[in-house]
């Protein structure tokens, strides 16, 4: 079955540092890929998505590129802020009619001033 | 739109009691998902509905758990009888399948003593 593997956290960075959170997936066909973010005490919210190979999703300074050859969708941000502290989930959903989303285990990011 | 609404936000109960969690999805969305989140097991899909019909309940842990969606604007997740290991945050999410993006509610934090 489909699966998503994320790097284990927590990740602790100083403000303005560069962020990379690795994500790889196993799936048949051509799934859509997502990054969700969960701030403390809240539900998950969609951060960005990509629906086909080589697509780049971006939002709020975050980027991720759909790499089919390496089955990866790494999340990056050039300069993190304290307000980016949250848990980040990589996820996939199969194309061809809506199906359920498979989530990774989440990576906690802590940004210190 | 107010987003996905869940109630109550916090619930503390004693072992053996019945617990009912409620969810109001975003109007017009045709899918509804129930998830459970714990530190040990992360985010688990319990059940999901399409147009009020249950599609996949394979994630429901046991017969003590049941879910209903009597109409497009309301769903319940019931635990009877509750046990301490049911303590978790329960999320509801709704989806418009045209856009394939999950919108999560704020969650219900359940504590079973």
State the 10-residue block means of pLDDT for chain B, 113 residues long. 91 97 96 94 92 93 94 97 96 88 94 97
- Residue A29 has a pLDDT of 84
- Residue A97 has a pLDDT of 59
- Residue A53 has a pLDDT of 92
**Is B25 near chain A, with CB under 8 Å?**
no
CA dihedral B56, A50, B6, B68 (to 10 degrees): -20
- Of residues A10, A30, A3, the one with CA closest to residue A112: A10
pLDDT tens track for A68-106: 999 999 999 999 999 999 999 999 988 665 667 899 999
- Residue A100 has a pLDDT of 79
DSSP structure class, residue A67: B
Give the whole-number percent of chain A exceeding pLDDT 90: 82
CB B110 within 8 Å of CB B21? yes
- Residue A99 has a pLDDT of 64
Burial (CB < 10 A; 0-12, 13-18, 19+), residue B84, is exposed
Best of B7, B35, B104 to substitute, by most chain A Cβ atoms within 10 angstroms, is B104
Chain B residues near residue A89 by CB distance under 8 angstroms: 43
Rounded CA separation B72/B31 (Å): 9
- Residue B1 has a pLDDT of 66
Chain B residues near residue A100 by CB distance under 8 angstroms: 33, 45, 48, 56
- Residue A1 has a pLDDT of 84
Tell me whether residues B102 and A105 touch, CB distance under 8 A.
no
| CA atoms within 13 Å, Cβ hemisphere of B38 | 13
Strand residues in A15-106 grouped as ranges (E): 19-21, 23-26, 32-38, 44-50, 56-59, 62-65, 75-77, 86-93, 101-103
**Is A43 near chain B, with CB under 8 Å?**
yes
Closest chain B residue to A49 measured between Cα atoms? B101
């Amino acid at each position: 079955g489909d699966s998503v593997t994320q790097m284990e956290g927590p990740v602790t960075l100083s403000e303005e540092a560069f962020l990379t959170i690795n994500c790889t997936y196993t799936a048949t066909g051509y799934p859509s890929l997502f990054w969700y973010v969960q701030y403390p005490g809240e539900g998950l919210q969609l951060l960005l998505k990509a629906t086909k190979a080589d697509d780049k999703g971006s939002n709020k300074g975050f980027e991720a590129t759909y790499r089919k050859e390496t089955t990866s969708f790494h999340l990056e941000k050039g300069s993190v802020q304290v307000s980016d502290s949250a848990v980040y989930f990589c996820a996939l959903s199969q194309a061809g009619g809506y199906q359920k989303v498979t989530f990774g285990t989440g990576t906690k990011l802590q940004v210190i001033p | 739109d107010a987003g996905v609404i869940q109630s109550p936000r916090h619930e503390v109960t004693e072992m053996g009691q019945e617990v009912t969690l409620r969810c109001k999805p975003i109007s017009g969305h045709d899918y509804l998902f129930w998830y459970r989140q714990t530190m040990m097991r992360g985010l688990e899909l319990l059940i999901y509905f399409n147009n009020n019909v249950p599609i996949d309940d394979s994630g429901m842990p046991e017969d003590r758990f049941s879910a209903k969606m009597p109409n497009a604007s309301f769903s319940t997740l019931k635990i009877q009888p509750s046990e301490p290991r049911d303590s978790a945050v329960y999320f509801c999410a709704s989806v418009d399948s045209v856009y394939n993006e999950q919108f999560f509610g704020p969650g219900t934090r359940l504590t079973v003593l």
